[in-house]
Structure 1
Amino acid sequence: MTAPTTSPTLRERLLPSRRTLVVLFGVAIIPLIYAGSLIWSNEDPTHHLDAVPAAIVDLDRGATPNTDAAEPVDLGRELTDELLASRESTNFDWIEEAPDAAASDLASGEVLVVLTVPEDFSAAAVSPADDDADAARAATLSIETNDGANVIVGSVAKSVGTAVTESLSAQVSAEYLENVYLGFSDIHDEVAEAAEGATDLASGAHETENGADDLVVGLADVASGALDLSSGASTLAAGARSADEGAERLSAGLQELDGATAELPESAAALDTGSDAVSSGAHRVADGAADLDATAAVAASSAQSIADGAAQLSNGMTRLAGGTASLSSGLTALVADYATMTDAQRLAALEGLAARASEADTVAEGLAASSGGLAAGSAALVGTDDHPGLAALAEGASTLAAGAAEVDDGATDLSSGIDTLVGTLDSLTTAIAEAATGADALADGTAGVAAGADGLAGGGSALADGASRASRGAQRLDDGLSSLSSGSAELSRGLTDGVDDIPDYSTEDAARLSDVASAPVELDADRANEVPAYGWGLAPYFMSLALWVGALAFYLMMKPLSEALVVSQRPAWLVAFGSFLPGAAMGVVQSALMVTIVHLVLGVEAASLGGLYAVAALASVTFVAMNQALVSLLGAPGRFIGLMLVVLQLSSAGGTYPVQTAATFFQALHGWFPLTYAVESFRSLIAGGDIGITPGLGVLSLWLVGSLLVTGVAAARARRTTLGAPRASTAALA
C-alpha cells in the first residue's frame, strides 16, 4: 500500500528553501567580493611604495667646485643619507648595498629597484663652474629595474627617479649659483682693490698736478731769471771784451811808459801786473757767462717740456678715474640684476666689463710708464751728484755775480790809480796820453762790466729763487709721481685679476653651459629583461587568470568524478586519477592554445617559449586538479569557493603593482596561492631571468598532488555512498 503524499502549500511554493536562500545570497555577493577585493588590493599603491624594497649604490668620490671660497661636495653621500632617512610613503624602502650585491638582489627579486650614483657624479654636478665650458656635463643617476619581477615597477621607479633628479637639480643649481655669486664676490673684491688703487691714483694725480703747477711757476721764474742772467751775461761779456781790449792797450802804453820813465818802474810794473790780472779775469768772466747763458736756455726749455708733460698726465688721470668709476658701477649693477637676467644678457654684460677693464688696464700701464719717465726727468732737473741741476746753476750764477763785482771793484781802483798817475806825471804826456786812451776804453769796458754784473746779479738772484721754488715743486711732483706709480700698479693688478676672474665664453660655450645648468642632473633608466610593451608585462597575470577560469569552466560542464569509475569498485586513488585525466588533458590543450595565440597572434615573444609551454601546462593541470577537488568534495558550494579563490589569488598575486603596496591581508596570502607562482614564473619565462621559476614548479606540484589527494578522499566517500545505496539509486547515478 502506497503512503499518501501531501502537496506543498502555497507558501512553500512561493518562498524558497533555506538552501536556496544561501545559494542566492552567495550569488548576490559575488560581484561585491570581486569588486571589493580587487579595489582593496589596489586602493592606493603609489602611496605605499615605502614597502617596496630598493637598493642604492653610492660610488661617488666627491668633488670641489672651481672657486676660491667653495667647499668640497659629496652629493652621492648626501643623496644616500637622505633616501635612507626618508619615511615618505611615496618613496621606496631603501637600503645601501655594494654593486655586486645589488645586482644579485635585483636579479633574484629581493629588491625591485637599484639606484646607482656613479663615481664622477659630484664632479659632473660642479663642472659648469669650471673655466672650460667643454668640460661641463650633466650629472647622471642610473636607476635599474627588472621587468622579470614586475613591469609596472619600472614606470614607478622612473617617476621616483625623476623626482629625485629634480630635487638634486634644484640643489645643484643652488650650488652653481652660489659659486657664481662667490665668483662675483671675488671680482668685487678685486675691483674694490682696483678702485682703491684708482683713488690713490687720483690723489697722486692731484698732488702731481699741484706739484707740476708749482714746478711750472718756478720754472717760469727760472726761465725769466735765466733770460735776465743771459742778458746780463751778454752785457758783461761785451764789457769784458772792451775792458780786455782797453787793458791790452793800457798794458802796451804802460810798457812804453815803463821804458820811457825809469823813475816809475815799480808803479808801472804794478799797473802792468794789475792790468794783466784784470784782462785774465775778464776772459774767465766772459767764458763763464757764455756757458751760463747756454745752460740757462737749456734749463728753460726742459722746464717748459716737463710742465707740458705734467698737464697731459693730469688730463689722462682724470679720464682714468672716470673709467674706473664706470667699471665699478657696471659691476655693481651686474651683481644686483644677475638673478633676473638671461644668459645672453649676462654674457653681454660680462664681455662689456671685460673690455672696459682691459682698456683701463692698458691706460694704467701707459700712465705708469709715463709717470716713471716724468719722475726721472724731474729728478734730473732737480739735480744729482753726477749731473748738477738748478741748484748748481743758481750757485754758479751767484759766484759769477760775486766775481763780476770784484772785477768791477778792481777796475774802479785801476781807473783811479791811472787818473792819479796822469795828474802827477805831466812830463810823460805822450806815453800817458796813449795809456789814458787805453784807460778810457778800460773804464768804458769796466762800466759795462759793472752794469752787466749788476744785471747778472739780479738775474742770478731771480734764478736762485725760481730754482728753489722749482726744486720744491719738483719734490712734490716726485712724491705725487711715486703715489701715482703705486696707485697705477695697484689699479693694474686689480683690473688684471678682475679680468682674469671674469669668464670669457663664446656663444657656443654659453649655450652649452645654459643647457647643462638648466638640467644639471639626468636620469638613466635601465630595465633589465625589458619588455617592449605594457601588455607584455601584464600577460602573465591575465594568462594565469585565464587558466584558472578555464579549469573552473570545465567543471561547470563536467562532473568531477566519473560515475562509471565510482561504481566500478576500483580503488579510490584510481577513481580520482581516472576522473582527473580528462580534465588534465583539457588543461594541457587549453594552455597550449593560449600560449600559441598569445605568441603568434598577439606577438608576445618569450625568452623561453618551450619553458612557457611547459609551465603553462603544469599551472593549467594544477588549477584543474584544485577545481576538481573542490567540486568533488563539496559539490556546488565547491564551485562557489573556486570563484572566491580566484579573486583572492588575483588580489594577492601582485600581478600589476608590487604586492608590497597591497594591504597587509593580501601580502599574507601572497605566498600561499599557486596563482602567485604561476604569475612570477610566466614573467621570467617571457621577459627573461629566473625569478620564481624554481619555486613555482615546486609550489604548483605540491598543490597538484594535494588536490589529487583531496579528490581521492572525495572518490572514496562517493564510492562508499554508491556501494551502500539501493540498486535503483546506483542506476540513477549512472
Structure 2
Amino acid sequence: MTIVTLVRTELRRLTSSRMGILALVALMCVPIIYAGLYLWGNNDPYGNLKDVPVGLVVEDTGATQTDSDGTTSTVNYGDEVRDELLKDNSVKWIEATAAEAKTGVSDGTFDFVLTLGKDFSTDLTSPTTASPKQASVELTTNDTNSFLATTIAGNVAEKVRSSIAEKVGKEAALQFLDGFADVGTSLETAIDGANQLADGTTTAANGSAQLAAGAASANDGAQQLATGASQANTGAYDLSSGLQQLANATSTLPSDTAALNTGAQKVAAGNAELATSGAELAAKANTIATDVPQAQTDITAQVNELLMNKVITQEQADKILTALNPLGQQVVDANTKIQDLNGKLAALASGSQQVADGTAALAASAPTLAGGISDASTGASALAAGTQQLADGSATLAAGTPALASGAADLQTGILKLDDGAHKLATGLSDGLGKLPIETAAQREKSASIISDPAAIDTSAVTKASAYGAGMAPFFISLAAWIGIYALFLIIKPLSKRALTALRKPVRVTAAGLMTPGILGAVQMIAVFGIVTLALGYSVANPLGMLGFMIVTSVTYAAIILALNVWLGSVGQFLGLVLMVLQLVTAGGTFPWQTLPGPLAALHHALPMGYAVDGIRQLMYGGNLALAWADVAVLLAFLLGALALSWLGARRMTRTRTLRDLRPSLIG
C-alpha cells in the first residue's frame, strides 16, 4: 500500500457521505471566512473615522490683544478652532452645549467630547502679559463607548493641540521679530545721534587742546614776567640808592656822572626789553582772555548735548562745568593784571629812558646836574615803588598760571576720554545693529512660520503596507492557517491505524498522515491568497514566494498538530487550541513582540507563528528576502521535528495494537 493510496483512501473516507462532504467543505472554508471577514472588517478603519460622533463644546468669550504696532484687537481662538474642526473630515464633529456633551458622552451619543473653555483665548494671549498661563483643551472620554475611541480621542486632541500651538506660536514669533525690527529702527536713530555726539566731542577736544596750549604759554610768560619784574625792581632800588648817594656826594659828581650815565643806559635798555616782553605777554594774555567766553560757551554746549543724549550723567556734567567757570575767570583776572603790569612796564621803560637821557645830559653838563640830582633821586624812588608793585603782581600771576595750565590739561584729558567714549558708543551701536535679525515683512512672516513649526517629519519607508488591512494580513493569514489545519484534524485521522497494523511501516504511514491535511491546507492557503489579492485587492510584492511560504506554513502547522494528535490523542487536539491562543498573543501580529512581558516574549521565539508572520510580511511588502528564507528554515525545522515525533509515535504504535485501534471513527 503506497502513500498515494493511503491519501486517496483517507480522502475517499472524508467524502463518502453527504454529511462528510458538507463537513469537509465547511471546515475548508473556516480559514477563508476567518481571514476574509477579519481583513475585510479591518480594511480601512482609520478611513471611516469620519463617522465617529464627537461632541465639540466652545465656550470661549474671546480676548483683547496688543499687536506689534501698538494697536489693540479682539480675537476669539475658540471660534477659529471650531471653524477649522468643522471643515475637517477626520471625525464627525457635532456642536453641543456643555450639558448636551455631558449627557451625550454618557449615553453613547458622542464617543468623546472636546471642550474649549471660557478663558481659552485669554490664556493663549497671556504670554504677552506679565502673568502668562497655559491654555488647556478639555477632553472627556468614556471607555464604555469604546476603548479604542479613547485612544483615537487622545490622537485627535494632540492634533488639535499641535495645530493651536503652531498658530499661536507663529503669531508670537511674528510679534517678536516685529519688535526686533522696531529696535533696529530705534538703533539707527541712536547711531545718528551717537555720530553727532562723536563729531561734537572731537571739536571740543580740539578746542581744549588749543586752550591747554595757550594756558601753558601764559604760564611760561608769567614766569618770565615775574623774573624780569624782580630784576627791574632790584635795578630800580639800586638806581634810587645811587642817586641818593649822588646827591650826598656832589663833590665827586663829574666822575660819578659818567658811571651813572653808563648804569642808566643799561637800566634803560633792560627796561625797554622788559617792556617789549611785557607787551608780547599782554597781547597773548588778551587773546586768551578774549577766547575764554567762546570756549566756555562751546564746552558748555557740548556738555549739555552729551547730557541730553544721556552719554554722561548730570553729576559728570556739573563737575565739568564747575571746573570750567573758575578756570575761565582765572584767565580773565590774570589778563587784567598782565595788562596793568604792561602799562607799568611801559611807564618804567619810559622813565628809565628819561633817567638815561638825564644822566647823559648830567654827564655833559655836570655844573647843572646837581640841581637835577634831587629830581632824579625822587624819580628813582618812584620807579622803585612801581617795580615793587610790578614784582608783586607778576609773582601773583606766576602763582596762578600753573593752576590754569594744570586745569586746562585736565580739561583736555577729560574731553579726550569723552571723545573716545562717544566714538566707541557709535561703533558699538553700529555693531549691535548689524547683529540684529532685521528682515522685511515677508521674511519675518516666513521666519515666524519656521519658528512656530521648526521641524517637519520626512517619512521614508523601506517597505509599506498598502492599507491598514494589508498591515494586519500577515497575522490573520498565519492565524487562519492554524485554525484551518486545526479544524481539519477534527475529521481527519492523524494516522491510519489499520495501515500501521497491516503494513508496520511507520515512515510511509506518517508521510500519508501529513499529506492529507497538507494538501487540504495548501488548498485553503490558495483560497485565502485569492481572497487577499483578488477580493480585497491587496498588493503583494512577491506573489509566488508568498503563496509558497503560506503553503509551507500550513504544512508545518499540520505536522505540529499531527504530532500532538499522534502522541496525546484528543488531549493533543486540545493542546493545538491552547497553542493557537498562545500564538495569538505572542506572534507580534498587532503590536511589536518587544512590548510583550518577558515570558511571552520568550514564547515568541519558541513558537512557529511569529516566524510565519514575519516571513509573510517580508514577501508581501517586498522586504528582506534573506530574512524570509531564515523564516522558511525555522518553519522547516519545526516541520521536520514534528514529523520525527510523529514517526516515533507511529513506530511505537506498530508494537502494540488493540481491537479499539481497529474500530473506524470519524475523529482519529
TM-score bin (small chain)? 0.3 to 0.5
TM-score by length of structure 2 reads 0.45
TM-score by length of structure 1 reads 0.42
Q: Which has the higher contact order (CA 8 A, sep 6+)?
A: 1
